[in-house]
Amino acid sequence: MDAPTTKSADNGISGEGGGWFTPHKPVRSEDGRTAPGGGLPSEEHIPEQRPAPEARPAPEARPAPGARSAPGPQPSAQEAPAPPASGGASPSSPASPPSHAAPSPDAQLIQRTMAEIAPVADKVTSYFYALLFVNHPHLRGLFPASMDTQRDRLLKALLTAAEHIDNKQVLVEYLQHLGRGHRKYGTQADHYPAVGEALLGALSHYATDSWSAETEAAWVRAYTTISQVMIDAAAEDERKAPPWWFAEVVSHDQRTPDIAVVTVRPDQPYPFLAGQYTALETPWWPRIWRHYSFASAPRSDGLLSFHVKAVPAGWVSNALVHRARPGDTLRLGPPAGTMTVDHSTDNGLLCLGGGTGIAPIKALIEDVAEHGERRPVEVFYGARTDYDLYDIDTMLRLQQAHPWLDVRPVIDAPGHRQARQIQLPDAVREYGPWNEYDAYLSGPPGMIRKGIDALLGAGVPSERIRHDEFEELIASASR
């Protein structure tokens, strides 16, 4: 994947266009592969955007739920913007500067719908999938056998995108990321109308007070734009890369009872940048994918390593920590994420890594070292207890090898002799100043949120704060 770039105007999301339309389908390359069993992904940026379709008249009357024509393309369903399980990511980029523009008319109508359905979100989700599977039963096989763990992923992705339809800079990147990632599920352009139909049916069924012909037209325009950005991104990516890679497990290092470092060998070259992440699928839970950050910069031997922590009821994480062994074969989605080093500047790096979020931080350090740079790198390695500082020895060895690197372990409770007992945000505020640094955050969403607040409070501009958690990114961009 490319490093973060400045997006051109024709990558912006427009509120124009609309109506149900037949999307132009991506052209499959000769060596393109379709993932077994397919899948309507909904979790996982840069193709040239085609013009939005011409606007069509808004429907005069609201059709009965499930009976309307299918909207444009459909996002797939599975892991939508779930944060990566190992401190890495989900769509992101530098935090955008706040926008003070008044919401567009479409955004206002969409936000009213969102406010009305919020108290009955579970019912909306159930009704959405009921419409989708009843009206289009052939799509059921594209989802995991059990919908329990990611039942709301697809709908959440659609609603998140629609709610922030005016936030073009961030949203285009997010949608392109989803469109590229959906390829690994076998999603096709002609799947999108079915999802749009179910979306409008569920919303109109539950947003009875705010729904009108104007509201429906706003949602049609939003979904048309959202889906087309995703389709275009997938079409462009299909010309350059396969939808997924096989990868053989070559080593499994059990660091603690619930944390393992898993190293794999892809079946073909896998280009990525330090600081990025990917989605993994295990053979034990087909069509269930989870995000994990790369724990190193690209290596000459082509191997990839991931830090995985088993979480309660975590199907993929528990399989990787407790079941995977050398010789097992996993599947990898495409690399993604923009938490990468800008080598065109000599700014220092301020890195905040919590738990297994230290994995991409380690990759960033290796990347700086490989470029022969001597820019200062300050790392705050946060954990609840010293037990959670599972990779501290590696980080301290890197500090000994590189005089420009400082590693500061920080824990919530007393313990490790080299770790200071202090809240991570407080430690960041205490050191500094950070006006000559670019900030990188990786870890649990709560840590990212508090870290952003601490950095902004310390005077770090939002555009120099990088992380890979979409919801947090939207929040920081909205301040």
Sequence ranges of the domains in the chain: 9-238, 245-332, 348-477
* Cβ 257 vs Cβ 72: under 8 Å: no
Model confidence, pTM = 0.68
CATH number of 348-477: 3.40.50.80
If you search the block for the tokens 């008249």, which residue do you land on?
Answer: 57
Q: Do 106 and 168 contact (CB within 8 A), yes or no?
A: no
Dihedral sign, CA of 189, 193, 195, 200? positive
Q: How far is CA 445 from CA 300, 448, 450, 471, in A?
A: 33, 5, 9, 9
* Residue 171 binned pLDDT confidence (cut-offs 50, 70, 90): confident
State yes or no: pLDDT of 60 exceeds 50.
Answer: no
Select from 141, 169, 235 the least CA-distant residue to 8. 169
Q: Which pLDDT score is estimated for 181?
A: 82
Model confidence band, residue 145 (pLDDT cutoffs 50, 70, 90): low
Q: pLDDT tens digits, residue range 291-342?
A: 999 999 999 999 999 999 999 989 999 999 999 999 999 999 999 888 999 9
Share of the chain above pLDDT 70, in %: 73
Mean pLDDT over all residues of the chain? 77
> Residue 415: its pLDDT value, please?
54
- Name the pLDDT band for 9 (thresholds 50, 70, 90): very low
- CA-closest candidate to residue 13, choices 156, 155, 170: 170
What pairing do the DSSP bridges indicate for beta strands 259-266 and 420-421?
unpaired
Exposed, middle or buried, 169 (CB in 10 Å: 0-12/13-18/19+)?
Answer: middle
pLDDT score of 173: 83
Tens-digit pLDDT profile for residues 96-125: 444 457 889 999 999 999 999 999 998 998
Confidence of residue 410 (pLDDT cuts 50, 70, 90): confident
Over range 254-269, report the average pLDDT. Answer: 96
Judged against a pLDDT cut of 90, whether residue 412 lies above it is answered with no
User: Peptide bond preceding 433: is omega within 30 degrees of 0, i.e. cis?
Assistant: yes
Q: Outline where 330-444 has alpha helix (H).
A: 358-370, 392-401, 424-430
**Comparing 238-247, 346-355, 427-436, 445-454, which segment has the lowest mean pLDDT?**
427-436
Give me the pLDDT at residue 54, please: 34
Q: What is the pLDDT of residue 146?
A: 63
Question: Whole-angstrom Cα distance, residue 74 to residue 194?
Answer: 7
For the stretch 396-399, contacts whose Cβ atoms lie closer than 8 Å and that sit 24 or more positions apart, written own/partner, are 398/362, 398/365
pLDDT at res. 422? 66
Taking 50 as the threshold, does the pLDDT of residue 156 lie above it? yes
CA distance 247 to 255: 21
Mean pLDDT to the nearest integer, 26-55: 31
At the fourth CATH level, the homologous superfamily of domain 9-238 is: Globins (1.10.490.10)
Q: Do 245-332 and 9-238 fall under one CATH topology?
A: no
- Find out whether 470 and 160 touch, Cβ atoms under 8 Å: yes
pLDDT tens, position by position, 186-230: 788 888 999 999 999 999 999 999 999 999 999 999 999 999 999
Distances (CA, A) of 263 to 178, 184, 474: 25, 21, 33
Nearest to 77 by CA among 230, 246, 213: 230
CB-based burial label for 325 (10 Å; 0-12, 13-18, 19+): exposed
pLDDT, tens only, 416-467: 455 556 677 777 888 878 888 999 999 988 888 888 988 988 888 988 999 9
Which residue, among 46, 41, 476, has the nearest Cα to 279 in the 3D structure?
A: 41
Distance (Å, rounded) from C-alpha 327 to C-alpha 265? 10
Report yes or no: 389 and 406 within 8 Å, Cβ to Cβ.
no
Q: Which fold has domain 245-332?
A: Elongation Factor Tu (Ef-tu); domain 3 (2.40.30)
